[in-house]
Structure formats: structure tokens, C-alpha cells
């Protein structure tokens, strides 16, 4: 006789936790292509798009990367008032440090000495890119505070606030775009000003909604009389902080590899739109990470979460395969992005290589969430190192041989790197996860029959 899992771990319960986060990630994934579409219709569009997409946003993301995982950390760490306050202080200090670093890059000779030669920024792009970096100085603070409070909201069941906050952010971004466009501002001002304003509006909304936590569930939560000391918090969070930094380090490796293989211009031109479409398909899987952390307290949750990851991951991969094998793929690269026919064909052929990524992302989120909940965060950093090592091998081989299309090699490298990351997380969870009865090995822990 089968035993029905508790309501908290039933698929409908997990779905109700997941869908607001998934919607938030989907909307965020659509934000930047929409802004780029506006900038592409402004004066000096090529220069402004190069400044925003090629300099400002990559640098802003790199500076921001240490606090990207604050959402997962807060979902796991914010258990009571003491732990919440401790993580709040930690977040504030990190936000101040990153804001100062961003300001130094934007307003001092560091921009000329480091950014320009590192990225080989064309002369026409240098001035607008620097202006964009200056406008985005407040970005780090808003991102850090928002993600910290979102994690606590998720932990205590206020997940609908995340989706509502994303709608508020989009409304703020669209409003800023309209005002700046009507005021005749340049494309770089429209792009960076609207993104920064939208993030601040969302951060303010989340701050207001999170005020109910301190006198409510945080105060009522059972826990230690005071939060853990600073040492364990640093040991818990630093591996998480390094994880997105290592992932972002893959971007220059890919770009450098494509530029050194056959059809470099074509490959670089298609890589961005291809990555954007793959990210949209993967984004709902990224959102599953916090869902796993939020439900992992329930001992009956593990099998249900794993089934959810497999079913939705396979569904999203199948959807991407349908796009690649139907006119939808041509429409994305030709009508939405505006590529020429030879580049459209190249993009669609490379898209097939991305089909496994949504499934791998769901599985990564499952095992990573379980490891973070168990405070095994070093294993998460190790998985990203495995990703980088395995991803780099095909790129190096492709450059050495010089025979294969750089875009296809890059996509093969990216997919195999993600497979290595997934297998590493699974191995570390089975080895370091909480003690439980011995279970049969189902390959990649495929779900048991329902």
C-alpha cells in the first residue's frame, strides 16, 4: 500500500511554490531583449548596443556576481530573527563593498586602464559605455537587498510577492523607457537608466512586503536564541558567492574560442541570440533551486521534488526541440533578432545542441538545492569548476585543430560542461547528503514510477 506524501510535498504544493518564481525568471529573461529592441531603433544603434550588451552589462554582472546567490542563501539561512538580522548585516556590507568597486571602475582611471584594454573596447564605444556604467552604480545595492529579502519571503511562503515584484519591476522599466525616450535621451541612457530604475522599484516593493516577517513568522520561528557566529556564515556563503563568478568566467572563454575558429564573425553574431533563447528555456529550471531549498525540510520531499524536476525538465527540453524543428526557430533568429538567412540556418542547427540544457538545469537545481539546504555549499563550487574544466576541453581542441565551426563547438562545449556539472552535483549529494536508507542507483536518479 502506497503512502501519500504530505500536502507540502505533493506536486500541486511544489507547483504553487515554483510557478511565481518561474514566471519571474521568464519575465526577467524577456526584459533585456525588449530593451535592446528599443535601443536598436535609436540613433547610433550599433554603438549603443555594443556599449550596453558588450561592455556595461557584462561588467555590471561581473561586479554583482558575489551577491547573485543571496536569494538561495537567504532561503536557507533566514530561519529566525537572529539569523535574518545577521544575514541582513552581511548583505549590507557586501552591497557597500560592491557599490564602491563599481564606482571606482566607472569614475576613476580604472576604466581606461583595465576595462578598455581587457575587453578591447572600440574607441566609439568607450564614452557611452562609461556613461552607462556610471548610471548603473546603484544597481548592486538594489540587487543585493532585493535578493536577500526575497529569499526570506520564499522561506515563509510569500512566493506570490516574487512574481508581483517582477511585474512591478517591468512596469518601472517600461515607464522609465517611455520617459527617457520622450526626453530624447541616447540609447545607452535609456537602457541603463530604465534597468536601474526598474530594479530599484522592485527592491522597494520587496522591502515593504518583507516588513511583515520580523514581527510575524521570524519572531515566532523556533530557533537558537541568537544567530550563528560570523565564521559559519562566511563558510556557508563564500562557496556560493564564487559559483556565479566562475560561471561568468566562462563567457570570455567561449568568446575567445569562437573568435579563433572558422567563421568567427558569424559565430559571435549568433551566440548572443542563441544564448538568449536557451536561457528562456532554462530560466524556469533555475527558479526550481529555491523551491527545493524551501521544501527540503520535509523528509518526504526528496522523491517528489526529483519527480518534479524530471517531468518539467523533460517537458522544457521537448519544447526547445519543437522550436528547433519547426518554423519557430527560423522566426526567432530571422524575425525577432533580424539575422540574415545564412546566420538563421546556423542558429537553428546550433539550437539542437542546446536541447538537453533545460533538463540538466532542473536536475542541477534539484541537487544544488538539496546540498545548499544541507549546508554543503563547497560541493556547489566544485560543480562549477567541473563545468569549466569540461567545457574548456572542446574549446581548446577546436582552436588547436581549426577545422570546425566555432559556434557549434561552443554549444557542444557548453552542453557537455553542464552535463559534467549535473553529474558532479548528483555524486556529491549521494556522497555527502544526509544519512538515509540505502537506495538503488537509478542512473541519474530518474523518478520512480508513479
Percent of the chain with pLDDT over 90: 34
Mean pLDDT of 16-22: 81
| Residue 318: predicted pLDDT | 97
Q: How many domains does the chain have?
A: 2
| 322 found inside a domain | yes
What's the predicted TM-score (pTM) here? 0.74
**Same structural domain, 147 and 238:** no
| Residue 223: predicted pLDDT | 52
Residue 198: pLDDT over 70: yes
Q: What is the pLDDT of residues 81-108, one digit of tens each?
A: 888 888 899 999 999 999 999 999 999 9
Q: According to the per-residue pLDDT averaged within each range, which of 3-7, 72-76, 216-220 is highest? A: 72-76
Question: Can you read off the three cell numbers belonging to residue 9?
Answer: 510535498
| 3 found inside a domain | yes
Question: Can you read off the three cell numbers belonging to residue 143?
Answer: 540587487
| 144 found inside a domain | yes
Q: Whole domain around residue 202: which residue ranges?
A: 1-228
**Same structural domain, 224 and 235:** no
| 184 found inside a domain | yes
**Same structural domain, 83 and 178:** yes
**Same structural domain, 214 and 251:** no
- Compute the distance between CA of residue 421 and CA of residue 415 in angstroms, rounded to an integer: 10
Per DSSP, the three-state class of 229 is coil
Mark which of 179, 201, 228 sits at the end of a domain. Answer: 228
Per DSSP, the three-state class of 111 is helix
**Same structural domain, 313 and 402:** yes
**Same structural domain, 364 and 325:** yes
CB distance 184 to 43 below 8 Å: no
Mark which of 203, 228, 253 sits at the end of a domain. Answer: 228
Per DSSP, the three-state class of 443 is coil
Mark which of 159, 194, 228 sits at the end of a domain. Answer: 228
**Same structural domain, 80 and 223:** yes
CB distance 339 to 333 below 8 Å: yes
**Same structural domain, 10 and 49:** yes
| Residue 1: predicted pLDDT | 33
- Compute the distance between CA of residue 322 and CA of residue 313 in angstroms, rounded to an integer: 14
**Same structural domain, 281 and 422:** yes
| 440 found inside a domain | no
**Same structural domain, 204 and 316:** no
Mean pLDDT of 204-217: 84
Angle, helices 357-373/70-77, rounded to nearest 10 degrees: 40
Q: How far is CA 54 from the centre of its chain?
A: 18
| 221 found inside a domain | yes
Q: What is the pLDDT of residues 114-129, one digit of tens each?
A: 888 876 677 888 899 8
Report DSSP letters for 251-297, one per residue: HHHHHHHHHTSSSHHHHHHHHHHHHHHHHHHHHHHHTHHHHHHHHTT
Residue 314: pLDDT over 90: yes
Residue 33: pLDDT over 60: yes
Amino acid at each position: 500500500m502506497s503512502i501519500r506524501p504530505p500536502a507540502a510535498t505533493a506536486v500541486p504544493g511544489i507547483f504553487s511554490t515554483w510557478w511565481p518564481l518561474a514566471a519571474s525568471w521568464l519575465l526577467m529573461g524577456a526584459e533585456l531583449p525588449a530593451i535592446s529592441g528599443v535601443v536598436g531603433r535609436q540613433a547610433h544603434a550599433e554603438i549603443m548596443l555594443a556599449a550596453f550588451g558588450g561592455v556595461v552589462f557584462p561588467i555590471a554582472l561581473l561586479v554583482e556576481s558575489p551577491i547573485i546567490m543571496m536569494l538561495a542563501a537567504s532561503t536557507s539561512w533566514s530561519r529566525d530573527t537572529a539569523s535574518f538580522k545577521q544575514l541582513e548585516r552581511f548583505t549590507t556590507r557586501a552591497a557597500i563593498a560592491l557599490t564602491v568597486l563599481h564606482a571606482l571602475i566607472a569614475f576613476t582611471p580604472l576604466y581606461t586602464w583595465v576595462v578598455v584594454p581587457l575587453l578591447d573596447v572600440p574607441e566609439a564605444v568607450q564614452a557611452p559605455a562609461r556613461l552607462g556604467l556610471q548610471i548603473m552604480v546603484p544597481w548592486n545595492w538594489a540587487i543585493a537587498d532585493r535578493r536577500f529579502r526575497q529569499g526570506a519571503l520564499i522561506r515563509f511562503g510569500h512566493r506570490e510577492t516574487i512574481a508581483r515584484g517582477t511585474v512591478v519591476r517591468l512596469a518601472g522599466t517600461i515607464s522609465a523607457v517611455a520617459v527617457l525616450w520622450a526626453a530624447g535621451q541616447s540609447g545607452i541612457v535609456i537602457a541603463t537608466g530604465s534597468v536601474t530604475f526598474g530594479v530599484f522599484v522592485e527592491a522597494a516593493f520587496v522591502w515593504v512586503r518583507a516588513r511583515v516577517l520580523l514581527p510575524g513568522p521570524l519572531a515566532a520561528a523556533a530557533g537558537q536564541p541568537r544567530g550563528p557566529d560570523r565564521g559559519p556564515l562566511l563558510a556557508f556563503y563564500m562557496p556560493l558567492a564564487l559559483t556565479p563568478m566562475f560561471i561568468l568566467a566562462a563567457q570570455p572563454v567561449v568568446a575567445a574560442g569562437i573568435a579563433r575558429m572558422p567563421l568567427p564573425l558569424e559565430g559571435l553574431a549568433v551566440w548572443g541570440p542563441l544564448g538568449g533563447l536557451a536561457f528562456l528555456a532554462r530560466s524556469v529550471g533555475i527558479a526550481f533551486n529555491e523551491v527545493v531549498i524551501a521544501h527540503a525540510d520535509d523528509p518526504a520531499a526528496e522523491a517528489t521534488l526529483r519527480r518534479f524536476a524530471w517531468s518539467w525538465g523533460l517537458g522544457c527540453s521537448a519544447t526547445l526541440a519543437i522550436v528547433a524543428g519547426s518554423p519557430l526557430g527560423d522566426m526567432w533568429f530571422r524575425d525577432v533578432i533580424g539575422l540574415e538567412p545564412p546566420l538563421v540556418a546556423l542558429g537553428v542547427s546550433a539550437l539542437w545542441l542546446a536541447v538537453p540544457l533545460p533538463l540538466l538545469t532542473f536536475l542541477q537545481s534539484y541537487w544544488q538545492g538539496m546540498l545548499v539546504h544541507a549546508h554543503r555549499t563547497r560541493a556547489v563550487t566544485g560543480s562549477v569548476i567541473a563545468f569549466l574544466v569540461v567545457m574548456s576541453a572542446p574549446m581548446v581542441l577546436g582552436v588547436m585543430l581549426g577545422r570546425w565551426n566555432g559556434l557549434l563547438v561552443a554549444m557542444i562545449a557548453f552542453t557537455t560542461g553542464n552535463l559534467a556539472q549535473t553529474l558532479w552535483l548528483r555524486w556529491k549529494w549521494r556522497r555527502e547528503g544526509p544519512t538515509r536508507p540505502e537506495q538503488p542507483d537509478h542512473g541519474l536518479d530518474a523518478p520512480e514510477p508513479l
